[in-house]
Amino acid sequence: MATLEEHKAQVKIDKPEGTVKVHKNGTDIFIEGDAYNAWVDDVAASRLDKEQNGWEENRIREYPTIADQLDDIYHNGLDAWKVTIKKVKDDNPKPGE
């Protein structure tokens, strides 16, 4: 897993200063200096957060609904439900697992 500083370095490689456009007051402008550095900080922090916590969003999206889980337990038993849940967890491991 990359550090925040590594993410910042990669953002600067991906989008060097003078290449980032933002829409301000009805005009597209290139950001530089402090505005660029603040943008890099925001993008790097977002990438780090996704790297650290993306597994959780993925699990939430991939878990069957509660109704479907209960239906699975009723029709196929607890062991079959555990297999379904384990697959989601295995496909989306927590960092460090």
In tens, the pLDDT along 77-97 reads 999 999 999 999 999 998 877
- The pTM for the full model equals 0.66
Q: What pLDDT digit, counting tens, does each position of 39-76 carry? A: 999 999 999 998 888 899 999 999 999 999 999 999 99
* pLDDT tops 80 at residue 20: yes
Determine the Cα–Cα distance for residues 94 and 7; give it in Å rounded to an integer: 19
* pLDDT tops 80 at residue 36: yes
Determine the Cα–Cα distance for residues 86 and 37; give it in Å rounded to an integer: 42
33-62 and 78-91 are packed helices; what angle lies between their axes, rounded to 10 degrees?
160
**The predicted structure's pLDDT at residue 83:** 97
Phi and psi based region of residue 89 (left: phi greater than 0; alpha: psi -120 to 50; beta: remaining): alpha
